[in-house]
Amino acid sequence: MKLLAFEASTRRLSVALWNDGALAEKSADVPNGGSERLLPWANALLAESGLVFAQLDGLALQADDGDLLLAAANLGLGAVWCGIKGHQEEAVRKILGAPSKLGVLCIIPLGYPAEAPPPSTKYKKTKVHWNRY
């Protein structure tokens, strides 16, 4: 099993790579911010282990999933945050083999995009209300 894990929800930032029983890690205490270190650390751990991102079996992350989405984009991957609630939680936990004592907040599918559409927005000025509806 090859897993890459990110921890960025506290002042102790870290990236760890589990490669078929061998653990490698890069980490530092960073009082504020510092998440820009995560991607270079991940790339270094993969390179040191002779792996590329596509060879990973999975990713793990602490609750600050915004950093994961940014890291995925920097690697050229497509990613989307999918909230899990209610009856979906048990189904996802079963698929993942996660114990019932753990809650499932979200899943973030990752993959290589089949296309690269131009940036767009769903913003509509008529749907924005100031001080009253």
- Look at residue 124 and tell me if it is in a domain: no
What pLDDT shows up at residue 95?
Answer: 87
Which pLDDT tens digit goes with each residue over 46-55? 999 999 988 9
> Structurally, how many domains does the chain consist of?
1
CA dist 84 to 52, 87, 88, 107, Å? 29, 9, 6, 7
> Per mean pLDDT, which range of 7-16, 21-30, 55-64 is the poorest?
55-64
- Look at residue 37 and tell me if it is in a domain: yes
Task: Report the length, in residues, of the chain.
Answer: 133
Query: Is the model's pTM score more than 0.75?
Result: no
- Look at residue 48 and tell me if it is in a domain: yes
- Look at residue 104 and tell me if it is in a domain: yes
11 lies in which domain range?
Answer: 2-113
CA–CA dist 56, 54 (Å, integer) = 6
- Look at residue 128 and tell me if it is in a domain: no
**CATH code of the domain in which 6 resides:** 3.30.420
Which pLDDT tens digit goes with each residue over 64-94? 666 778 778 888 888 888 888 878 888 888 8
- Look at residue 123 and tell me if it is in a domain: no
- Look at residue 119 and tell me if it is in a domain: no
